[in-house]
Structure 1
């Protein structure tokens, strides 16, 4: 029974196992179609590869470079400016602008599709920027994106904003010009406006040289961010660390500016200037003037303050030019060191009266006395001995009507009468004898007194030593200049100027142990050829030390008020403070140590 039941199962299984699909011969035509299709596909791939590699190579490579390359554009940074000892005068600091895009506002941890309200962002930013929340909200409400919220953000504040991680806030870096010394060098250095366009001073006159060497950087990176060393432009990582070095001394500049400002305020004057020059090479240690301005906040000041008047404004030097005139007469042999002139107190020249400032007659006097009492009549008598045409030629040779050879921006030429006027009108050489009837700048006067101090060489006054790398300092310029006067002539003038300090109107600058020469000046002020009633310019020029003159100190104060306003009362006190500081800063040894020790003991 069981055997009969199992038999059918086995037969059924056997039938399933033995069922096969009969093999049929594939038609050759079908094989050819398969072969052709596969070959066409392969040829298509090869063609596409050839197209990509041969035809689209440049386009694909360019697209790849764009994805792989990080671009950085130059910021337009400028080189720093330092004084003669390396103290910073002008520099670039990194600052940031904050841009807001309200439609992308999102806080860390928020869902990606969530957009925060401007109120949420303003609340967080207000404390960091120290700006009222309401003000920030008003700015954010102007548009949906690209809103400049704030500028001038320092790096520390920018780091705090980045740490907040708020999406929709962008920080844009830019350089900002900073003047660490404030108004101390404003008259010389100038400033950049908000668009970083140079507006005055060295910033403007040497604009191209002060721009750093920068170029756009294109740095390729691999998939993991590793920099790839190919496709780098030559010099892309060059570090420009050059800086412009001045000849000015911050310490002397600050002291001079304070002394001058106090005196201008005391005498209610319009303006004043102090110049200290190294007569051996023309380097200026001080070029201070008042009133001035703060270049960090230039918009708060009148544009008239942006120019340096001691370089750009003309004036009649008055008695401070008398030593130069006497040097010309000595050079030509028109006078001798031991000669005397007869000072009668009053002269008539071509129908014009010429008086001494005190209208007193000093009698028969030598030339040191002429300078001591500042005799106008004595000067006219002395310069009469010099032929008028020779006199004019010397004024021309000194460059009175020429722009000084200087790196100071805006320097102007003086004014001198024509040779015909000078030689045919007797009043012209007469007034020129005591420093009036022509005009020059305080800078030019300092240059001419340097001629007397250095043995007769006309040096070029300048305020820069050039560019130096890193912390290196440029050395002082070697003595130079065109020889115009005989050394023995200038030595005589130095002794005469010393007598003015020892016995005359320059007594206020006497310093125990030191030999100092000088000359005061109180000149009438002219406008369009007409002398202004009561308006005068008070000045004083000093040379030191007399045994080996090197430094010129010039103080000029414009229109001091008061009956007792003279060079000796207005300019000399400022010069005294400057000279005292100069002796210490430049470590000038005493001329007479015994006298200095005696003064110290007393």
Structure 2
């Protein structure tokens, strides 16, 4: 049999190839059948080198495997296990918030979100929408049909369904309609307590009110701190969670609730009355605060306009702040009793002193007049407050050295935070000592409550010091943590500082009583009760060194009852519209009605 040589062997065996390479390459012949294959020593060397590289690579890989699996094996095993395992904290409900009588203001509840998936629906879309609308009255049938048709899957139908509504949806048995269960913060009284309580977002994080500022207090403690309700899980290669182990110890929740000083009945009366007056005068905004001056507890606090925390996303973000705590304003004549208390403390006057009340005075070249444009000549301190005389207040405060007057204002903490348990507290404005003491004009305008600013809450705090015998107490809404039996287990720390002499504070209360009986506060009179009060009508500063001729802030502050001072009520109305816009006509009627509710709810007996 004759064998045919492959082409490449024919080429190697050709005379031309042998002739060209005979001088350069030494070769030997290997016989295979009827042809001879020549191997060059260069090829042999190359083969050996390739084998050496392969062997070295195998040795290197072997060493690396030894290093990874033996030397570093445990370290990498622990690291891999740590990446696969994770701790998920189970949902822990926030503590409930209750009012002073134990009524629930905020709590966590189980709610459901409803979704529709068009590709999975076996029923007609219009029929599905009509069926769901029977359970969810606020549902827009036509709008839902359009949304389902526009998207194949995952269309949100409604959020925050109750357990009863969810059961009814399940009862429909509609394939393609799903329920997603979750926990939601619920505020059963809607917008009543929005300014105090605030709200939590979709992630259950507090964003306003005490939901924000008291987050640590609202977070429950677990009975096993080292466990903290953690569930250890393992993730597979796709990231899916596989249960690995359950906690070994119980994670029982405490039964404590956050109790507030507020009263829902009084708050309702305050909110309703404020809204009526806001609508009547078409005001920009308004606020009412009721304070227990003996304890510093806030019994009611309402701002308008406000929002519903159950549906916070539908409102302007600006409404989420409590402006009675965050915003400052010039208090006007409601600050005059505070200045009288300072003057009594400094002994430049006494309760029976007489002061000058001209229609107008010149201070550093500036004419300052009474609101009435008239003067009574020589009057008592009480009469000066009755008629709310600016010029008489200037005469009083001129008797105190400027530097000492500035010190007394600083002692009241006008330009400092009070340390409230409500968030985003604003800081009042008091000019520097250098500026304040340089000229008489600064002292003069401060004597009737302009040229300085503070928050409504700060004014209530200082008026509370006049009511309680001179003690500056930090206002607060949190009374403490209470158990299921209503016993307080944790009390907040409340600061208290003596800022007025008791005799001075008592004398000012009697003067404020005369303001209601005989002066500008007559609109706040309640038959059978001795009430102290002071009106305030301040021009608004435009921020450019001038005061507006039209924009005003009207206010009224009262102390009830004067024979046993306990409660302070403040109403502030910003930029009311219309005629006769004064503290006596706009704010005082609100305070009167609030005091009537306070008398009824607290059972305050008539004055002797």
TM-score w.r.t. the length of structure 2 is 0.76
Distance in 2 of aligned mates of 1:569 and 1:141: 56
Relative to 1, partners in 2 of residues 1:579 and 1:147: Cα closer, same or farther, differing over 3 Å?
closer
1:280/1:480 contact within 8 Å kept: no
Q: 1:509 aligns with which of 504, 524, 531?
A: 524
Distance in 1 of aligned mates of 2:297 and 2:385: 28
Q: 1:572 aligns with which of 562, 565, 588?
A: 588
Partner of 1:234: 249
| Structure 2 residue 573 is matched with structure 1 residue 586 | no
Q: 2:497 aligns with which of 457, 475, 482?
A: 482
1:450 to partner: Cα distance: 0.6
Partner of 1:526: 541
**CA deviations over 1:542-575 (Å, ceiling 9, x no partner):** 1111111110011111111234111111111111
Listed as ranges, the gaps of 5+ residues in structure 2 are: 1-76, 78-86, 222-227, 234-244
| Structure 2 residue 428 is matched with structure 1 residue 414 | yes
2:555/2:570 contact within 8 Å kept: yes
Distance in 2 of aligned mates of 1:264 and 1:421: 38
Relative to 1, partners in 2 of residues 1:101 and 1:216: Cα closer, same or farther, differing over 3 Å?
farther
1:580 to partner: Cα distance: 0.8
Q: 1:553 aligns with which of 539, 551, 569?
A: 569
Q: How does 1:300-311 map to 2 (within 5 A)?
A: 300-311=314-325
Distance in 1 of aligned mates of 2:372 and 2:447: 17
| Structure 2 residue 397 is matched with structure 1 residue 393 | no
Partner of 2:112: 96
Partner of 1:459: 473
Secondary structure of 2:192's partner?
helix
Distance in 1 of aligned mates of 2:402 and 2:592: 37
1:129/1:157 contact within 8 Å kept: no
Q: How many residues align?
A: 499
Distance in 1 of aligned mates of 2:89 and 2:146: 32
| Structure 2 residue 262 is matched with structure 1 residue 259 | no
**CA deviations over 1:126-163 (Å, ceiling 9, x no partner):** 625647599579749955x8776654332123334545
Distance in 2 of aligned mates of 1:510 and 1:395: 31
Distance in 1 of aligned mates of 2:123 and 2:425: 56
Partner of 1:497: 512
Distance in 2 of aligned mates of 1:286 and 1:334: 37
| Structure 2 residue 545 is matched with structure 1 residue 541 | no
1:235 to partner: Cα distance: 2.9
Partner of 1:119: 123
Partner of 1:210: 218
Q: 2:263 aligns with which of 243, 249, 253?
A: 249
**CA deviations over 1:77-111 (Å, ceiling 9, x no partner):** 322212111112122221123467899x7xxxxxx
Relative to 1, partners in 2 of residues 1:397 and 1:138: Cα closer, same or farther, differing over 3 Å?
closer
Relative to 1, partners in 2 of residues 1:159 and 1:322: Cα closer, same or farther, differing over 3 Å?
same
2:231/2:246 contact within 8 Å kept: no
Q: Which moved more, 1:389-398 or 1:152-161?
A: 152-161
Relative to 1, partners in 2 of residues 1:120 and 1:512: Cα closer, same or farther, differing over 3 Å?
closer
Relative to 1, partners in 2 of residues 1:76 and 1:329: Cα closer, same or farther, differing over 3 Å?
same
Distance in 2 of aligned mates of 1:199 and 1:478: 24
Aligned Cα root-mean-square deviation (Å)? 3.0
**CA deviations over 1:529-548 (Å, ceiling 9, x no partner):** 32112211111111111111
Q: Which moved more, 1:74-83 or 1:445-454?
A: 74-83
2:132/2:169 contact within 8 Å kept: yes
Relative to 1, partners in 2 of residues 1:424 and 1:137: Cα closer, same or farther, differing over 3 Å?
closer
2:126/2:145 contact within 8 Å kept: yes
Partner of 1:370: 384
1:354 to partner: Cα distance: 0.8
Q: How does 1:214-225 map to 2 (within 5 A)?
A: 215-216=229-230
Distance in 2 of aligned mates of 1:489 and 1:159: 66
Distance in 2 of aligned mates of 1:83 and 1:510: 29
Distance in 2 of aligned mates of 1:433 and 1:255: 34
Distance in 2 of aligned mates of 1:171 and 1:485: 62
Secondary structure of 1:182's partner?
coil
Listed as ranges, the gaps of 5+ residues in structure 1 are: 1-58, 60-70, 106-116, 220-229, 593-602
1:75/1:174 contact within 8 Å kept: no
